[in-house]
Amino acid sequence: MRFVVFGREPRVDTPRRRAEFSERLRWPVIERVYQRPPIHPMPVIKPSCVRDLKLRVNLADVISRVVTLRKAGGTRLKGLCPFHNEKTPSFHVDADKGYYKCFGCGKAGDAITFVRDTEQLNFTEAVEALGKRFGIVIEFEEGSGGPTTAERSLRQEIFDLHDVAAEHFHQALKAKDATGEFFQDYWTTKRRFAAEIADEFKIGAADAHGSGLGPALLRRKFSEEALRRCGLFFIYDDAPITLGALRPRFRGRLMIPIRDHQGRVVAFTARQTELTPSDDPAREAKYVNSPETPIFTKGNLLFNLDRARTSVGDGKPFVLVEGQLDAIRCWSVGLKTAIAPQGTSITEGQLVLLRRYHAQVECFFDRDTAGQKASLRFLPLALKAGLEVRFLTLAGSGKLDPDLLFLERGLAGYDEVRRDAQSAMQFACHSVLPDPAGASAEMRSRAAQTVFEIITSAESEVTRSAFVTEAATHLRLGALAAAKDFEALVARQSRQAAARPLPANDAESASGPGTPDGGQKSKSAQLVHTPERDLLMLCLHFEALGKPLSHAVPPDWVDREHPAGALLNRFLGEFEQDAWPGRDHLDGLLENAEERTLVATLLFENPAIEDPNKVAQEGLKQLRARALEPRMRQIELALANPHADIEADPISLLKERDKLQRQLRTPLVLAAGV
- Interacting residues toward Zn ion by CB under 5 A: 81, 83-84, 102, 104-105
Nearest CB to Zn ion, comparing residues 181 and 459: 459
- On the CB side of 606, CA atoms within 13 Å amount to 0
Q: Is the peptide bond before 41 cis (omega within 30 degrees of 0)?
A: no
Distance CA 259, CA 293 (A): 14
**Min CB(85)–Zn ion separation in Å:** 9
Burial of residue 248 (CB within 10 Å: 0-12, 13-18, 19+) is: middle
Distance CA 207, CA 180 (A): 8
Cβ 80 to Zn ion shortest distance, Å = 9
* Residue with Cβ nearer Zn ion (352 or 451): 352
Tell me whether residue 117 or residue 292 sits nearer to Zn ion (CB atom).
Answer: 117
Whose Cβ is closer to Zn ion: residue 31's or residue 86's?
A: 86
Q: Which candidate, 406, 593, 569, places its Cα nearest to that of 518?
A: 593
Least Å from the CB of residue 628 to Zn ion:
46
* Distance of closest approach, residue 121 Cβ to Zn ion, in angstroms: 19
Angle between helices 123-134 and 111-118 (to 10 degrees): 110
CB-nearer residue toward Zn ion: 85 or 422? 85
Task: Please say which residue, 102 or 447, places its beta carbon nearer to Zn ion.
Answer: 102
In sequence order, what DSSP letters do the residues of 308-326 get, joined into one string? HTTT-BTTB-EEE-SSHHH
DSSP helix/strand/coil, 360: strand
The amino acid at residue 652 is: S
| Least spacing, CB of residue 102 vs Zn ion, in Å | 3
CB of 515 to Zn ion, least distance (A): 11
Q: Could you tell me where the DSSP H helices lie in 27-70? A: 47-56, 59-64
Q: Select 91 or 571, whichever has its Cβ closest to Zn ion.
A: 91
d(CA 310, CA 313): 8
Q: How far is the CB of 104 from Zn ion (least distance, A)?
A: 4
Which one, of 319, 332, 329, lies nearest residue 390 by Cα? 319
> Among residues 214 and 518, whose Cβ is nearest to Zn ion?
518
d(CA 102, CA 117) in angstroms, rounded, equals 14
Q: Do the strands 76-79 and 91-94 form a parallel or antiparallel pair, or are they unpaired?
A: antiparallel
CB 100 to Zn ion: min, Å: 10
Which CB atom, from 81 or from 246, has the smaller least distance to Zn ion?
Answer: 81
Distance CA 317, CA 545 (A): 55
Provide, rounded to whole angstroms, the least separation between the CB of residue 119 and Zn ion: 17
- What's the min distance (Å) between Cβ of 269 and Zn ion? 32
CB of 90 to Zn ion, least distance (A): 6
Q: How far is the CB of 353 from Zn ion (least distance, A)?
A: 15
Instruction: Tell me which amino acid residue 576 is.
Output: E
Question: Considering just the CA atoms, what is the radius of gyration of the chain in Å?
Answer: 29
User: What SS3 class is residue 633?
Assistant: helix
Per-residue H/E/C for 393-443 = CCCCCCCCCHHHHHHHHHHHHHHHHHHCCEEHHHHHHHHHCCCHHHCCHHH
**CA dist., res. 342 & res. 266, Å (int):** 12
Question: Which residue(s) pair with 391 in the sheet?
Answer: 363, 422
Please say which residue, 109 or 145, places its beta carbon nearer to Zn ion. Answer: 109
Nearer to Zn ion, 78 or 261 (CB): 78
Report the alpha-carbon angle 156-162-167, nearest 5: 135
Q: Name which of 107 and 264 has its Cβ closer to Zn ion.
A: 107
